[in-house]
Structure 1
Amino acid sequence: MSFKTYFIASLLQFRAYFGWLPASVVTVIMLVTLALVAFYASHWMTRFLLRLLSREGSTVARKIVLSTRRSVRLIIVLVVVISALPAASGLSWRTTQILQKSFVFIAILMVGYSAIKAFRIMTEAYLSRISLSEHHDDIIVRSHQTQIKVLQRLLEILVGIITVGVALMTFDSVRNYGVSLFASAGAASLIVGLSARGLLTNLLAGVQIAITQPIRMEDLIIINGDWAWVEEITATYVVLRVWDWRRHIVPISYFLENRFENWTHNSAAIIGIVYLYLDYEAPIDALREELQEIAKTCPLWDGKVLDFQVADCDAVTIKIRIIASARSALKSWDLRCDIREKMIKRIREDYPEALPRHRLGMVTAHMVREVTSMGEEEISPPIDRPPPRPPSKLAKPSGPKGG
């Protein structure tokens, strides 16, 4: 005798024991009793399993059991009740069919929900383990985060669609509609494709981004003139965090169809630039040595790139270009601010002649009269010019040839 046959026979004996009650009442008592037994049995099984996993030190499995215990208990209760419905004689055939399909529908949804939660816990545990591992650069960590996050959301969507579809197929009306839909699959696929073109484009773009990775989690990019960090990558859109805590919500297909800057694509290290405008009297060699001393005392400098260059000049000032490397873009910003502040302080205290100045002055009318009463030499002092060069021997004589 199989277990199912033995189970149904036991339920029939239980029903016969309460034969003095109405059949519908006996059926309700039987189903409620089985549901309570299954619930408490699953409760004790869950406690035993958690105690066993705590001894073995399996943290991930313990989290999965804790997060799915309620849905699993409901699944066990529904399975037991569905198995007992053939022995329910007090209900009409139509009522029995409705209850059976409703319970199967809920059980399938709970199975899909439990699978999604279990997969989410496993991916979070994997990402936590990767982030805690030692890496000189976080490119590997962010690559794994991007792939796992995007593929996790795509898989959740796929599992959700399949779960709802399978659950709805338990009803005859939905099943017949599905058969007719498959019969006209050409027209249906065309209609669905046109109506969901944007959604499908973003879903396919998410898969492509997970594989090619033009952006990753916590990448620093420039979009619409703003610095922004990639905070979240979903199946259809990307959340960008701006430095002032604003958020840009951008369709994921944007990053495949438009041009943007990614400052941390291959490496987080970056070279920052500082510009100073100084007077022509600035001592370049002394200021270059000052920069070396400042950089050595700055913990944000990674010790790789540092230079002091005269990049340009105009009629009033010279343009100094300072470059310094840092381990990340955020540290580079702080490093540039630190270098700029300390260089200005050194120049103001030790080299005031290097500060830019305009060689013009505003004078009153009285001062103009005093200046004009002075001699011409005092108004326009002589300018030391180099002596004129002797004429070249190859130069032709300017006068006419004598004869």
Structure 2
Amino acid sequence: MSDFLNALLAVVLAAGTAIVLVEAVHWLLTRYARRSPLLSRLERTAHKPFLTTVTLFAVQQALRTATGEFPGRHEVLHILVILVIVSGAWLVGALLLVLEDMALSRWRTDVPDNRKARRVRTQVVMLRRVTVAVIVVLAFGVALMTFPAVRALGASLLASAGIISVVAAVAAQSTLANVFAGIQLAFSDAIRIDDVVVVEQEWGRIEEITLTYVALQVWDDRRLILPTSYFTTKPFQNWTRTGSAVLGTAEIDVDFGTAVEPLRAELRAVCESTELWDGRVCVLQVTDAVRGMVRLRALVSAHDAPSLWDLRCLVRERLVAWVWEHQREALPRYRAETPPAHDPGRPATITAVVPETDEDARVFSGGSDGESRGATFVGRPAPGAQP
């Protein structure tokens, strides 16, 4: 009975001392947390796991060293060892999550040019998932090794580890492929969180990347769930891999008699009147002229993909309205020509006057931006570039 009372007294003293020390440290962190974001996050996140770990460790050491034998002493110590392992894993995970949160807080994604921030965020989120999984597996394994029967089986398990690993790899081939693909995506920079992609003819934004699947938020708020191995084995379009600014087109078909220059001026006016345009590219070109119609393609640029979509719709709407109001005769039509009665064998002579076009009609020439784009496509140095 005296041994049991001594053990109870040792537990109370050890737990009380540990709680006092931890609360003192917590008070100091709270006092200086206003000056340091790191201390502030530690004070909020790591307080409970730190208190639990220190208290359990102090109780376990007190029972081990300061008490004699009492009924159930071995079982109690074994349970305390397991609890210390679990709480220690909780504490390590909390500390690592604090560091990862600090890394995320330094890279904001709510800025215009957030490509690097999105890459870092993707990698940190993937590392967080791997970290939690590794900590849980290690803690579970260490806790199992505290049982003598499990340690006795260790040698035989290691001897058959080769066969087991082969069987497990065959059984979980697709799952392991997705896991490795997820790690590859996190560090290959092929896709990042918030990237705008076109997958399976669906246009959307990368919402979440895990070790096994990628969630794509489609433009109409649907979610397309794809295995991570899809992005390592099949082609897809990434609109924002090197930057958020993108180019887009709006096409309309008009009659052969359409005056192009007024439409080009109207396109420039539309772009300059909206904040959706980023001021880089505003070009109108004739890209096709077959079957009695002329196809006009307006090429415009925007800061990001959502703005580009709205800008393309706006350009198409304004150009159609302008044609209807000012050049209604330019609407597409089908015509048949009848030769004159006095000379049925001689076709009418048509003289076309082609005016000189300005920079708004050129994509790969004319301006400094166009020259650089053209040089990139043909593989020659841009004008003015250093050799």
| Superposed pair shares fold, TM > 0.5 | yes
In the alignment, is residue 345 of structure 1 matched against residue 316 of structure 2?
A: no
Change (3 A) 1:222 1:153: same
Q: What pairs with 1:157-172 in structure 2 (closer than 5 Å)? A: 157-172=133-148
- Following superposition, the deviation at residue 31 of structure 1 comes to 4.7
1:141 & 1:158 partners in 2: Cα distance?
A: 25
- Alignment deviations for residues 283-339 of structure 1 (CA, whole Å, 9 cap, x no partner): 222111111111111222222222212222344532211111122222111110111
Residue in 1 that maps onto 2:42? 64
**Cα contact 1:154–1:203 (8 A) shared by 2:** no
Residue in 2 that maps onto 1:202? 178
* Larger radius of gyration between Structure 1 and Structure 2: 1
Q: What pairs with 1:136-285 in structure 2 (closer than 5 Å)? A: 137-285=113-261
- Following superposition, the deviation at residue 27 of structure 1 comes to 4.3
Q: TM-score, normalised by structure 1?
A: 0.78
- Following superposition, the deviation at residue 280 of structure 1 comes to 3.0
- The letter for the 2-side match of 1:264 is T
Residue in 2 that maps onto 1:79? 57
- The letter for the 2-side match of 1:300 is L
- Equivalent pairs, count: 345
- Alignment deviations for residues 53-93 of structure 1 (CA, whole Å, 9 cap, x no partner): 225x121222123212112111112111111223444623x
- Following superposition, the deviation at residue 273 of structure 1 comes to 0.7
Alignment counterpart, residue 91 of structure 2, candidates 98, 103, 114 = 114
Change (3 A) 1:123 1:79: same
- Following superposition, the deviation at residue 159 of structure 1 comes to 2.1
1:91 & 1:24 partners in 2: Cα distance?
A: 6
In the alignment, is residue 104 of structure 1 matched against residue 81 of structure 2?
A: yes
1:171 & 1:384 partners in 2: Cα distance?
A: 112
- The letter for the 2-side match of 1:202 is N
- Alignment deviations for residues 214-255 of structure 1 (CA, whole Å, 9 cap, x no partner): 111111111111112111112222111111111122221221
In the alignment, is residue 302 of structure 1 matched against residue 281 of structure 2?
A: no
**Cα contact 1:38–1:76 (8 A) shared by 2:** no
Paired-residue identity, % = 32
Alignment counterpart, residue 327 of structure 1, candidates 296, 303, 306 = 303
- The letter for the 1-side match of 2:2 is A
Residue in 1 that maps onto 2:375? none
- Alignment deviations for residues 126-158 of structure 1 (CA, whole Å, 9 cap, x no partner): 122122797x73221122122222222222222
2:258 & 2:275 partners in 1: Cα distance?
A: 27
Change (3 A) 1:132 1:198: closer
2:318 & 2:102 partners in 1: Cα distance?
A: 45
**Cα contact 1:42–1:73 (8 A) shared by 2:** no
In the alignment, is residue 49 of structure 1 matched against residue 28 of structure 2?
A: yes
- Following superposition, the deviation at residue 387 of structure 1 comes to 8.4
- The letter for the 2-side match of 1:128 is S
Change (3 A) 1:311 1:177: same
2:165 & 2:269 partners in 1: Cα distance?
A: 69
Residue in 2 that maps onto 1:129? 106
1:255 & 1:387 partners in 2: Cα distance?
A: 63
Specify the SS of the correspondent of 2:108: helix
Unaligned runs of 5+ in 2: 348-387
Moved more, 197-206 or 380-389: 380-389
**Cα contact 1:270–1:327 (8 A) shared by 2:** yes
**Cα contact 1:316–1:357 (8 A) shared by 2:** yes
CA RMSD across the alignment: 2.7
Unaligned runs of 5+ in 1: 1-21, 361-379, 390-403
- Alignment deviations for residues 31-56 of structure 1 (CA, whole Å, 9 cap, x no partner): 5523541453145224323234225x
- The letter for the 2-side match of 1:33 is V
- The letter for the 1-side match of 2:146 is T
1:72 & 1:172 partners in 2: Cα distance?
A: 29
- The letter for the 1-side match of 2:90 is Y
**Cα contact 2:49–2:94 (8 A) shared by 1:** no
Residue in 2 that maps onto 1:14? none
2:343 & 2:39 partners in 1: Cα distance?
A: 89
- Alignment deviations for residues 104-124 of structure 1 (CA, whole Å, 9 cap, x no partner): 111111111221222122212
2:218 & 2:127 partners in 1: Cα distance?
A: 25
**Cα contact 2:182–2:212 (8 A) shared by 1:** yes
- The letter for the 1-side match of 2:148 is D
**Cα contact 1:23–1:89 (8 A) shared by 2:** no
**Cα contact 2:22–2:50 (8 A) shared by 1:** no
Change (3 A) 1:382 1:305: same
- The letter for the 2-side match of 1:37 is G
Change (3 A) 1:133 1:224: closer
- The letter for the 2-side match of 1:193 is A
- Alignment deviations for residues 6-50 of structure 1 (CA, whole Å, 9 cap, x no partner): xxxxxxxxxxxxxxxx33651463255235414531452243232
Q: TM-score, normalised by structure 2?
A: 0.81
Specify the SS of the correspondent of 1:131: coil
- The letter for the 1-side match of 2:93 is I
**Cα contact 2:30–2:40 (8 A) shared by 1:** no
1:145 & 1:304 partners in 2: Cα distance?
A: 29
